[in-house]
Amino acid sequence: MLKTLPPATRAIIVANVILFLVYYLIGPSFMDRLALWPVQTPLFEPWQVVTYAFMHGGFMHLFFNMFALFMFGRALETQWGARNYLIYYFASVLAAAGTQLVWTTVTGTFVPTVGASGGVFGVLLAFALLYPRERLMLVFPPIPMQAWLFVTLYGILELVLGVTSSVGGVAHFAHLGGMAGGALVFAFWGTKRPPRRR
């Protein structure tokens, strides 16, 4: 199944799975080095703004993020090519990290952030912009919904949950930051250099 994926999407998924297995072999000390710690803690390191996106707290966390990349990332890479796809994905990852660092500084949070969700939310935004009328089937509730509506509602839900802090343990503002980073890349490409497949 992985052989059918374009190379960049496949590489991201494989890297996430490998590092997840390494984490379980080595233990929490491995994740502590690569997770994104708030800047006000002594555990923060600059490389964590990228490495956190390859760490996951559990199998289901990993599965849903990688499933989203499998479903939506390949469509983007097929249209853009590997180089532009990677630029877009890691711009979303970095924007998510920056947003989360600002949020943890403002709120005085000392909990680390892990997961590819920031990049995934950027991918979801791009998919909705490129294929707005594509119908997606939700898991719950099991109803079809056009991509633009699904991503819009998802973004609003993340904002509400982030502001109200009604669901703990989820980096809602990192998700929104990933979408914002993707939107900035789209704005740049729209005026400077539209993506071309290579």
Which one, of 65, 15, 171, 173, lies nearest residue 73 by Cα? 65
4-11: average pLDDT: 93
- Confidence band (pLDDT; 50, 70, 90) for 13? very high
Query: For the chain, what are the domain ranges?
Result: 2-191
Sorted by sequence, the CB contacts under 8 Å of residue 76 that are 6+ apart come out as: 85, 88, 123, 126, 127, 130
Total length of the chain: 198
The mean pLDDT of the chain is: 89
- Sequence-distant (≥ 6) Cβ neighbours of residue 124 within 8 angstroms: 68, 72, 151, 154, 179
* DSSP-assigned letter for residue 69: I
pLDDT score of 6: 93
Extract the tokens encoding 195: 């993506």
Whole-model pTM: value is 0.91
Can you list the pairs that 158-167 forms with residues at least 24 positions away whose Cβ atoms lie under 8 Å? 158/121, 162/103
Which CATH number fits the domain 2-191, given the four candidates 3.40.50.300, 3.10.180.10, 1.20.1540.10, 3.40.50.150? 1.20.1540.10
Contact between 24 and 83 under an 8 Å Cβ cutoff? The reply is no
Q: How do residues 133-172 score in pLDDT, each as one tens digit?
A: 998 876 666 788 898 898 898 888 888 887 776 455 688 8
